[in-house]
Amino acid sequence: DAGVTQSPTHLIKTRGQHVTLRCSPISGHKSVSWYQQVLGQGPQFIFQYYEKEERGRGNFPDRFSARQFPNYSSELNVNALLLGDSALYLCASSLGDPTGTPYEQYFGPGTRLTVT
């Protein structure tokens, strides 16, 4: 079975540019979450979507946005890139409603974004 897939694998952007990262969840999973992992730290929660609706947002500026499509895939957009946005961006998918317990999240391999 295919796991969570993310594209691209690596990306280099310049300060001020914008970027779009893509995620395809495990087949049948209806919830997608996005995390940012800066070098040397654990992943930090950015967004969570379920059935195409935003269910939660972490402490990130409005430059970060996301959406989930009818096929449950998702995009993370970051505008006006800063050097500090350089990180591994992780997508995780889950089967059901985020308010259900337990709620297992399965991560993709991530997109490594470098901002120069």
Partner 1 sequence: DAKTTQPPSMDCAEGRAANLPCNHSTISGNEYVYWYRQIHSQGPQYIIHGLKNNETNEMASLIITEDRKSSTLILPHATLRDTAVYYCIVSRVNSGYSTLTFGKGTMLLVSP
Residues near partner 1 (CB under 8 A) are 4, 33, 35, 42-45, 48, 50, 55-56, 58, 88, 90, 92, 98-99, 101-110, 112
Nearer to partner 1, 14 or 101 (CB): 101
Contact 14, 114 (CB under 8 A): no
Shortest separation between residue 15's beta carbon and partner 1, angstroms: 24
Q: Which residues contact 27 (CB under 8 A, 6 or more apart)?
A: 1, 2
Q: What is the rounded CA–CA span in Å between residue 10 and residue 111? A: 6
Shortest separation between residue 47's beta carbon and partner 1, angstroms: 9
Nearer to partner 1, 19 or 90 (CB): 90
Q: What is the rounded CA–CA span in Å between residue 35 and residue 97? A: 18
Shortest separation between residue 33's beta carbon and partner 1, angstroms: 8
Nearer to partner 1, 30 or 79 (CB): 30
Residues β-bridged to residue 99: none
